[in-house]
Amino acid sequence: MQLADAIAARIFEVTRTARVSLHEPRLTGKELTYVADCIESGWVSSVGSYVDRFERELAAYTGAAHAVVVSNGTSGLQIALKLVGVETGDEVLIPALSFVATANAVSHCGAIPHFVDSEYASLGLSAPALDAYLADIAEVRGGECFNRRTGRRIAAVVPMHTFGHPVDMPALQALAERYAIEIVEDAAESLGSWIGDRHTGNFSRCAMLSFNGNKIVTTGGGGAIITNDAALAKRAKHLTTTAKVPHAWAFHHDEVGYNFRMPNLNAALGCAQLERIDGFLTAKRELTLRYASAFRDLPEVSLFVEREGTRANYWLQTLLLAPHLADQRDAVLAATNAAGQMTRPVWELLPTLPMYRDCEAMPLPIAQDLARRIINLPSSPHLVEAAP
Amino acid sequence: MQLADAIAARIFEVTRTARVSLHEPRLTGKELTYVADCIESGWVSSVGSYVDRFERELAAYTGAAHAVVVSNGTSGLQIALKLVGVETGDEVLIPALSFVATANAVSHCGAIPHFVDSEYASLGLSAPALDAYLADIAEVRGGECFNRRTGRRIAAVVPMHTFGHPVDMPALQALAERYAIEIVEDAAESLGSWIGDRHTGNFSRCAMLSFNGNKIVTTGGGGAIITNDAALAKRAKHLTTTAKVPHAWAFHHDEVGYNFRMPNLNAALGCAQLERIDGFLTAKRELTLRYASAFRDLPEVSLFVEREGTRANYWLQTLLLAPHLADQRDAVLAATNAAGQMTRPVWELLPTLPMYRDCEAMPLPIAQDLARRIINLPSSPHLVEAAP
C-alpha cells in the first residue's frame, strides 16, 4: 500500500533505527545515584526525603503552590475529584477522546462519566460545543448544576491535555463558572506544557499529573495532585495516606482513606528525571521539526503542532490523516509496525467501550473524526542525538 | 514508673542500640544490583522481567499456583474481594482488631465491614465466636448468607494473620462452608507463616500479601494476590492493569479496570528481598528467643509465641501486659519510646473509628482486652548479628 509505505519510510528517515518503540524513558542522569541512595539508606518506602523533595520540585516546576505525589495518575484523579466534591451518583463531564483512566477515575468515585466532544485546535474537550450542549441540558439551581434529562448533579468537568496540547482553559473556566461546575485538569500527559506563562494544571482548583513509564518524566509508576489551595493539599496528603491522625504512637484514622502513596524509591527516580526535563522538552521540539520536515511533501497527512499562545511538551508526536483517507488508518498502522516503527492509533472513544456505552454523551462528530485519523509516531527523546 | 522502666531496660538488653525503630528493611543483598539493572535497561515501569519473575517466585515460595503483583496490600484486598464476588451493599466479616486497610478495602468495594471478635490463641478472628454469632444473626437462602438484622448479604469473611500468627483456618473453612461465605485471607503480615506445611494464603480462593516498607519483604510499596485458581489469577491481572484487551495496537478495555500495577523497579527490589527471606525468618526466630529470655523474670508481661501446629514469621514481636496491668500500657509506651526503643500499641479497634462506628459488630470482649494489652517491640532482622 503506497501511502502506508511512504509514511513508514518517512518515519524511518527521522528515527534511523530499525526497531523503535513509541516512547521510552531515558534514565541516564542521576537516576541510579538517587535510587542507590534510597537502598543504601534503607529509605525505600512511603516516607522519605525524595518524596518531600519531588513534591517541592514539582511544585516549583509547575508553579503550583503544592504537589502531593501518589501511586499513579488514575488514583490521583480519583482523589482530586473527591477533593472538589464529586460524590456517588454525580455526573462528571469528560472528553470522549481520552485514555480509559479518565473515565475509570470518575467511576471509582461512584460517579458517572458524561462524554464531551473534542475540538480540532487542541484535540481536547471543546468549550464552545460544551457550552451549546449545556444550554440545552443543564440548569443551575442553588449554586449547583443539574442535568435536566437525568436529574443528576453535574459536579465537575475534566479537560485532558491530549499528548501535551493544552485545552483552551480560559474559555472552559468562563463556562464552568457560569454553570457552577468544578474543573479538575487531567494533566497526565502535559508536564512541560504551558498556556502563556502558566503551566497546565494551574487552571483548576487541583489537577493530576502522571509519571507512568511512557510519560515525559517517569517514576516507574506514579502521579501527583497539584493545587494552589493549602487546605486542599493537606487533605490530599491525608486521604492518600490512610487518613491517619498524627500521634506519637496511636493508630487513629478519621475517615475512609486510601493507600495511594508513592514510595521513596520511585520519588528518587522522579527527582533525577525532573532535573532533565528541559533537555527532554528541547529534544521533543527538535523531533517535531524533523517529522514536519520529513512529512512536508506528503499532503495526505499533517503533523499536529501546538496552537498559538500555548507551548506543548510534544509528549507524543501526532500525525493526522487527511479526512478522505481515514479508512487507510489501519493499513498505515500495520505497515509501520511491520516495518519496526512503532505507531499507535488514539484510544477507542470511551462511550464505545462496553462499560461506558450507556452513559450520557453529547453528539461527538469531531471526536469520532479525530479517532479515525490520529496516528502517533515514535516520540522518545533519545531519537534526537542532543537529548540529555 | 517501675514496670515501664523495667520493660525499657529489657528491650535494650536485646537490641543493644540506643535508638531503634520498630521494623526496618534490610537491603544489603542484590537489591541494588537488580534495581540498577532496571535503570540501565530502561525497564522501570509496569511491565518487565522482574514483575514476571517476582510473581513466579512468590508463587513458588507460598506454594500457590499463581501470584499477581499489585501496587499495595489495600488495592490487592479490594480486588481479591471483587474476585470472589463481593458487591456494593454486601457485608464483609472482618476482625475488629486489624489495620485500617482491611476495613478500607471492603469500603472501596462499596461493601460494609461487619466486625468480629478475636481469639487469644492467634490474636486473629475467632472462628468459634463467629460461629455462635452467625447462628444468631445469619441465615442461608439459595446458597447465599444473609444478615437477618440488616437484610444484607454476608458475602465474605477476611481473616487477618496478626503479626504473622496464623488464624485457625481449618475451623474457619468449615464454618464458611456451612454458611456459604467466601474467605479471602488478609496475609499482609504473614509471608513466611505456615499452618502445618501449608503457607498462609492457601486456605481461601485467593489471598492478599503486602510488601510495604515495614513488612518482612519489601518492594517499597506493593502487594500481591495469590490463588490456586487460574481463571481468577487471569482476571486479577486483567482488572489490575486497566482491563485492556490484548491487541497489536488498539486500546480496547472491556470493563471498569484499575491501575494497581507494581512497577518493574519495585518488583526488582522484591526479587532481591525474597531471595533472603529464609535468613530473615531465622533472625526473627532468634530475636523471639532473646526477648523471651530477657522477659522471663518479669511476670507482669508475656511474650506472644506461635501456637502448636503453626510456624509464625514473627514479623512483629509482641508483648502482652498482664490483664490487671492494662492501664499501664501508655506509661510503658511513653517510657520505652522516650528511651529510644520504639514500641507501638496495636491498632485502635476498627469499630471505634468514626467512619466505621455505625457498622454492625458482634460483642468484642477479647479484641477489646487485647487492644489494651498488646505492645509491639523492635523487630528488625538486623537486631540479630547473623541476619543476612
The nearest alpha carbon in chain A to B88 belongs to: A110
Distance from CA of A259 to the nearest CA of B (A): 7
3-state SS record for A284-312: HHHHHHHHHHHHCCCCCEEECCCCCCEEC
pLDDT at B106: 98
Residues in B touching A101 (Cβ below 8 Å): 242, 259
The nearest alpha carbon in chain A to B99 belongs to: A251
Give yes or no: residues B305 and B168 share one domain: no
What CATH number corresponds to the domain at position B150? Answer: 3.40.640.10
Residue-wise burial string across B238-254, b where 16 or more C-beta atoms lie within 10 A, e elsewhere: bbbbbbeeeeebebebe
Q: What is the mean pLDDT of residues A155-172?
A: 98
The two beta strands, A194-195 and A182-186, are unpaired
Choose among B27, B32, B44: nearest Cβ to A218.
B44
The nearest alpha carbon in chain A to B73 belongs to: A259
Residues in A touching B99 (Cβ below 8 Å): 251
Residue B9 burial by Cβ neighbours in a 10 Å radius (0-12, 13-18, 19+): middle
Which of B99, B265, B276 should be substituted to probe chain A, the one whose Cβ sees the most A Cβ atoms within 10 Å?
A: B265
Residues in A touching B33 (Cβ below 8 Å): none
Contact yes or no for A39 and B46 at CB 8 A:
no
Give yes or no: residues B15 and B76 share one domain: no
pLDDT at B88: 97
Give yes or no: residues A259 and A283 share one domain: no
Task: Report DSSP letters for A229-276, one per residue.
Answer: -HHHHHHHHHHHBTTBPP-SS---B-S---B-PPPHHHHHHHHHHHTT
In a domain, A374, yes or no: yes
Cα torsion B376, B380, B386, B388: sign: positive
pLDDT at A1: 60
pLDDT at B47: 84
- For cell 478472628, the residue is B125
Give yes or no: residues A165 and A261 share one domain: yes
Q: What is the mean pLDDT of residues B248-256?
A: 95
pLDDT at A386: 79
Q: What is the mean pLDDT of residues B300-325?
A: 98
Using alpha carbons, select from A371, A315, A34 the residue that is nearest to residue A190: A315
Distance from CA of B170 to the nearest CA of A (A): 31
Give yes or no: residues A145 and A221 share one domain: yes
In a domain, B230, yes or no: yes
pLDDT at B386: 79
pLDDT at A47: 84
Tens digit of pLDDT for each residue in B127-183?
999 999 999 999 999 999 999 999 999 999 999 999 999 999 999 999 999 999 999
Give yes or no: residues A58 and A110 share one domain: yes
Choose among B25, B100, B254: nearest Cβ to A44.
B25
Single pTM value for the model? 0.97
Q: Would you place residue A388 in the very low, low, confident or very high pLDDT band (cuts 50, 70, 90)? A: confident
In a domain, A388, yes or no: no
Give yes or no: residues A183 and A319 share one domain: no
- Which of B174-178, B184-188, B212-216 has the weakest average pLDDT? B212-216
Contact yes or no for A266 and B263 at CB 8 A:
yes
Give yes or no: residues A203 and A67 share one domain: yes
Tens digit of pLDDT for each residue in B49-94?
999 999 999 999 999 999 999 999 999 999 999 999 999 999 999 9
pLDDT at A322 over 70: yes
The nearest alpha carbon in chain A to B77 belongs to: A259
Which of A252, A253, A358 should be substituted to probe chain B, the one whose Cβ sees the most B Cβ atoms within 10 Å?
A: A253
Axis-axis angle for helices B127-137, B169-179 (nearest 10): 10
Contact yes or no for A218 and B45 at CB 8 A:
yes
Distance from CA of A285 to the nearest CA of B (A): 22
- For cell 499533517, the residue is A302
Give yes or no: residues B171 and B306 share one domain: no
The ipTM, to two decimals, is 0.96
The nearest alpha carbon in chain A to B218 belongs to: A45
pLDDT at B385 over 90: no
CA-based end-to-end distance of chain A: 37
What CATH number corresponds to the domain at position A360? Answer: 3.90.1150.10
Give yes or no: residues A337 and A308 share one domain: yes
pLDDT at B46: 81
| 8 Å CB contact between B189 and B165 | no
In a domain, A6, yes or no: yes
Contact yes or no for A255 and B44 at CB 8 A:
no
Give yes or no: residues A139 and A288 share one domain: no
pLDDT at B183: 98
Contact yes or no for B353 and A242 at CB 8 A:
no
Residues in A touching B337 (Cβ below 8 Å): 248-249
- Average pLDDT score over chain A: 97
Tens digit of pLDDT for each residue in A365-379?
999 999 999 999 999
| Domain, as residue range, for A157 | 31-274
Share of chain A above pLDDT 70, in %: 100
Choose among B44, B100, B343: nearest Cβ to A220.
B44
Choose among A249, A257, A265: nearest Cβ to B337.
A249
Contact yes or no for A345 and B251 at CB 8 A:
yes
The helix (H) or strand (E) run that includes residue B33 is: helix B31-41
Share of chain A above pLDDT 90, in %: 97
Instruction: Report angle CA A350, A355, A360 to the nearest 5 degrees.
Output: 60
pLDDT at B1 over 80: no
Tens digit of pLDDT for each residue in A35-63?
999 999 999 888 889 999 999 999 999 99
- Average pLDDT score over chain B: 97
Choose among A36, A72, A345: nearest Cβ to B259.
A72
Choose among B218, B242, B256: nearest Cβ to A45.
B218
| 8 Å CB contact between A284 and A381 | yes
Distance from CA of A254 to the nearest CA of B (A): 6
Q: Which of B232, B250, B274 is the last residue of a domain?
A: B274
3-class SS of residue A328: helix
Q: Give the amino acid at B219.
A: T
Structural domain tally of chain A?
A: 2
Residues in B touching A27 (Cβ below 8 Å): 39-40, 42, 44
- The Cα A186–Cα A158 span in angstroms is 6
Share of chain B above pLDDT 70, in %: 100
Give yes or no: residues A104 and A236 share one domain: yes
Q: Which of A211, A241, A274 is the last residue of a domain?
A: A274
pLDDT at A23: 95
For residue A305, the tally of other CB atoms under 10 A from its CB is 14
Task: Report DSSP letters for B248-268, one per residue.
Answer: SS---B-S---B-PPPHHHHH
In a domain, A251, yes or no: yes
Listed in sequence order, the residues at least 6 apart from A322 whose beta carbon sits closer than 8 Å to its beta carbon are A299, A300, A301, A302, A373
- For cell 500500500, the residue is A1
Residue-wise burial string across B91-127, b where 16 or more C-beta atoms lie within 10 A, e elsewhere: bbbbbbbbbbbbbbbbbbbebbbbbbbbbeebbbbbb
Residue A219 burial by Cβ neighbours in a 10 Å radius (0-12, 13-18, 19+): buried
Residues in A touching B20 (Cβ below 8 Å): none
Listed in sequence order, the residues at least 6 apart from A349 whose beta carbon sits closer than 8 Å to its beta carbon are A96, A97, A115, A364, A367, A368, A371
Q: Which of A241, A274, A307 is the last residue of a domain?
A: A274
In a domain, B388, yes or no: no
Tens digit of pLDDT for each residue in A271-282?
999 999 999 999
| 8 Å CB contact between A336 and A13 | no
Would you give the DSSP letter of residue A203?
Answer: S
